[in-house]
Amino acid sequence: MGIDRLKEIIENSKNIVFFGGAGTSTESNIPDFRSAGTGMYKKEEKYPYPPEIMISHTFFISHPKEFFEFFRNEMVFRDARPNDAHMALAGLEQIGKLKTVITQNIDGLHQMAGSKNVLELHGSIHRNYCIDCGREYDLDYVVESPSTIPTCEKCGGIVRPDIVLYEEGLDMRVLNRSIRAIKKADVLIVGGTSLVVYPAAGLVEYFRGDDLVLINKSSTPYDHRASLVINDSIGHVLKQATRDIL
């Protein structure tokens, strides 16, 4: 029933925006942060500090060696490939229905699937830059650096991933583009996110369109405001809902 209703909503839409979180990539074997037993916060501790400390700005500055060990081991999944959710969304963009993907993920899987208009709220592991001179580097440079702390070939400064660490603010240009996209949408599909992390979760407040669709394995604080709530695997749901459309 839920998937049939979602298919109907998609067929009748002209401007879909997708807003996704970590759950969008779990089917690509990238763990999220909060799921019981498997999330980064719930796994057996392998480090002397909790994850939210190790991926903070303060920790990056004061303990760069440990930061990069954690980054390489726990935040980079080079073998990950787009799943059914990524592929369905890329297909909807290609036929003109989906206008924008807004993601909290840093893995680049939406682009790998073929999505073009992707707004990355928390940055991307695939972009890296020198904190001193700004020179840009790719992920391979950081992962394959002969030293634990990757340094700039030009000036010797530390090369860091272009991701939003704890204690750092979101890129306001990306945030404002996301707000504008959501305001224009007639359908907002939110998937794979618990909608508890702000300011990102607050983006839903800007939606003024016809149908708010929430696809998540667990409930969210916005369920009561949605036109449709589906508590299931987002890859399965989007694949089934778009099967006869793409």
Instruction: Point out the residues that are catalytic.
Output: 122
Q: What is the pTM of this model?
A: 0.93
Domains parsed from the chain with CATH numbers: 1-30+77-122+168-246 (3.40.50.1220), 31-76 (no CATH), 126-163 (3.30.1600.10)
Residue 196: what pLDDT?
A: 83
The predicted-structure confidence for 77-127, as pLDDT tens digits, reads as follows: 999 999 999 999 999 999 999 999 999 999 999 999 999 999 999 999 999
Residue 197: what pLDDT?
A: 77
* Averaged pLDDT, 39-48: 60
Euclidean distance between the first and final Cα of the chain, in Å?
Answer: 20
* Averaged pLDDT, 54-61: 97
Residue 91: CA atoms inside 13 Å, Cβ hemisphere, count? 17
Cα–Cα dist 238/234, whole Å: 6
